[in-house]
Amino acid sequence: MTLLAWVPRLTLAAMLLPVAAGLWGVFAPLFGFITLNGASAAPMADVLAWPGLPRAAWLSVVTGVGSTLIALGLVILILSQLHGSRALMWLRRALSPLLSVPHASAAFGLAFMIAPSGWIARAVSPWLTGWDRPPDLLILNDPAGIALTLGLAVKEMPFLLLIALAALAQTDAIRSLAVARSLGHSGAGAWLKVVLPRLYGQIRLPVYVVLAYAMTAVDMALILGPTTPSTLSVQILRWMSDPDLTLRLQGAAGAVIQLALVIAALAAWFLAEKLVGKLGLLWITSGTRSPWLPALRPLAIAAAATSAIAVLGGLASLAVWSFAARWQFPDALPEALTTRTLDRFLPQLGAPLAETALIATTTTLIALILCIGCLEAGYRKRKPLEGRVMWLVYLPLLIPQIAFLPGLQVLLISGGLTMGRWVVILSHLVFVIPYIFLSLSDPWQAWNTRHATVAHALGASPTRVLFAIRLPMLLAPILTAAAVGFAVSVGQYLPTLLAGGGRIATLTTEAVALASGGDRRAIGVYGIALTLAALLPFALALALPRILYANRRGTHP
């Protein structure tokens, strides 16, 4: 068996082994397979006895399901109303770069917008509200988790929207719409009746990923979420990072409960899909032409604009705060701009920036080699990608980080192993590989394989075809995939914290750690640095092929 033939197995192992080991690590203590000195013998009983549990679990479910419903609802509203319009093209262009903005930056930005002393309150004060000091409202970290729900929804909506747009390109939506409209259905009604049912089947897995993520997000919950009690995921993190090592098993038991909650929510969502499908079929076959639906168009435009402004405005406010001199409420802008904050923080940004770049570069390179190896091995065996391969790729994204990473830490501690950079890189690979694979597989398959036939017929070996023809021709999508992988690694909070044993400081961990302090200028600088670290590689990925292939028009789409 050649080396290349082993790459798919190696890739699967890199994605799934840490997940499997982590799950073993959270379940084993429950049955006494793993014990820590001085730790409780019945960690599950301890967690179940914790008085905050019902509320924390409830918050996880409500914020997760709520934000997924809002994000999916917005996507359906926007697409059904605005399909084929210029507004949608504009929105697509505005949202694409936001996809890679790390969750922590987006959460901080949103916090800067909606806080009682945030930009929105400043914009309408005092002329509209009469406020000359920030109102005494608990908007951020509200006990019901509304701010967290909104933050998750605003961050996940662009992801679902762009996935849906990509999936739409593969369905015969335009002709189906034309047929349905010629039968007298309104545009929006036709879209909901003939396009959505097919589209949903294609975006189901990403929706599940969003649901599992939203129920268990830690970084956004730390920044926007409730505190007493917090969501279950944040509580698990507290147990896992407590100086008292014996609480680790409690954290592992909490992870099991968290996993059960996610599985239950996914199952409920699946059943709800069936129900909505049945009801939808009644509606589709009822004969109604839904002439009133297009009236919702302004609502769709408002929703699209609001969600774009929430993230873009948030990032802008991070930037303004990093340069703000004195900035009193309710002034809309600071009195002056200064580089004082930058001068103060830039020296201490160097170390986490270098750590972030080192981890992200290593992870991306490894993942890229594995993914290209997988795709090339599949191509040489002429095996088309099957649905089950996609399930395997999505699996690490469906299992919440907070459900298995504690187990990994428990395993390492009980085995006497130290955590550190290499464990962080391994844990990042679990999430970087799927995104690189998803980003690269379509352009890889779309490549005209007759180029390979011609090159072979000219006497070139498979290896030469790969390196001299295919990879150079696919340079642009490969660089884009690398930028995606880099951004995913940059944004990882929990794996960096848990797999690094709290000793690996990246931009993300440093930024999230600032959340409780409330130093807006520091948050602004770190938030912007984090955003740039994720976005600059995309600029590079766009620019490089244009420079390298400046005189090769045929390589530009």
Q: Which of 264, 468, 540, 544 binds other proteins (CB under 8 A)?
A: 468
- Residue pair 531/546 in contact (Cβ under 8 Å)? The answer is no
Q: Which of 455, 479, 529, 530 binds other proteins (CB under 8 A)?
A: 455
Indicate whether 457 belongs to the interface with other proteins (CB under 8 A). Answer: yes
The SS3 call for residue 511 is: helix
CA distance 229 to 236: 12
Residues in region 80-99 near other proteins by CB under 8 A: none
Q: How many residues bind other proteins (CB under 8 A)?
A: 25
Q: Which is nearer to other proteins, 96 or 555 (CB)?
A: 555
Q: Which of 21, 475, 532, 536 binds other proteins (CB under 8 A)?
A: 475
Q: Report CA 463 to chain centroid distance, whole Å.
A: 35
Q: Which is nearer to other proteins, 306 or 461 (CB)?
A: 461
Hey, CA dihedral for 450, 455, 458, 463, is it positive or negative? Answer: negative
- Residue pair 159/210 in contact (Cβ under 8 Å)? The answer is yes
Tokens at 330, concatenated = 């309710």
Tokens at 268, concatenated = 């409920």
CA distance 333 to 309: 17
Q: Report CA 244 to chain centroid distance, whole Å.
A: 31
Indicate whether 450 belongs to the interface with other proteins (CB under 8 A). Answer: yes
Question: CB of residue 535 vs other proteins: minimum separation in angstroms?
Answer: 27
Q: Which of 94, 469, 532, 536 binds other proteins (CB under 8 A)?
A: 469
The residue with tokens 């993230």 is 311
Q: Which is nearer to other proteins, 92 or 451 (CB)?
A: 451
Helices (H) and strands (E) in the chain, counts: 25, 0
Listed ranges 49-57, 64-72, 226-234, 444-452: which one lies at the site for other proteins (CB under 8 A):
444-452
Backbone φ/ψ region at 444: left (φ over 0), alpha (ψ -120 to 50), beta: alpha
Question: CB of residue 555 vs other proteins: minimum separation in angstroms?
Answer: 5
Listed ranges 224-232, 244-252, 386-394, 445-453: which one lies at the site for other proteins (CB under 8 A):
445-453
Indicate whether 542 belongs to the interface with other proteins (CB under 8 A). Answer: no
Indicate whether 547 belongs to the interface with other proteins (CB under 8 A). Answer: no
Q: Which of 255, 473, 494, 525 binds other proteins (CB under 8 A)?
A: 473
Indicate whether 445 belongs to the interface with other proteins (CB under 8 A). Answer: no
Q: Which is nearer to other proteins, 395 or 460 (CB)?
A: 460
CA distance 533 to 523: 15
Q: Which is nearer to other proteins, 56 or 455 (CB)?
A: 455
The residues that bridge with 337 in the sheet, in sequence order, are 324
Strands (E), 275-357: none
Query: Where does this chain bind other proteins (CB under 8 A)?
Result: 382, 448, 450-451, 453-462, 468-469, 472-473, 475, 549, 551-555
